[in-house]
Amino acid sequence: MPERVLDLATGAEHRPARLGGAAPRGTLATADGLIVDPDAIARLAERGVVAIDMETAAIAAVCERRGRPWSVFRAISDRAGDPSVDASVLALVGPDGRANLPALARTLGRRPWRVLLLARLARDLRRATN
């Protein structure tokens, strides 16, 4: 539960409504794309960013325009710097989030060792969503 949500594209800040007894911590940044540059990630961490997603700021903006309270809870399935998280991973899924099987077959055909990294990412995703 973040204290604030920062839209990296616009600089807009949003404050979620507090729910329950858990203490909010840090900033959740919303980006338009996957951030993999270690220096960019380090700069965000220096600003108090503890996680990055791609949708919360947009949802917060709509709720605030309509005068509705909102909040956010996130479970993290991948960590900055993980070798399994890079731009090539995005090519393995379609726009609807389903696996792009031809792309997966090509990737594993060229780099079969990535199967272990993808398996770890899948395991962490299951943990985060259960």
pLDDT of res. 128: 67
Within the chain, which residues score under 50 in pLDDT?
none
DSSP string, 19-43: -SSPPP-SEEEE-SS----HHHHHH
pLDDT of res. 68: 96
First to last CA, the chain: 17
Where does the chain have alpha helices with state H?
A: 38-46, 56-65, 87-90, 101-110, 114-129
pLDDT of res. 78: 60
pLDDT of res. 89: 74
pLDDT of res. 115: 87
Cβ-Cβ contacts under 8 Å for 55 (sequence gap 6 or more): 30
pTM as predicted: 0.67
pLDDT of res. 86: 62
pLDDT of res. 61: 97
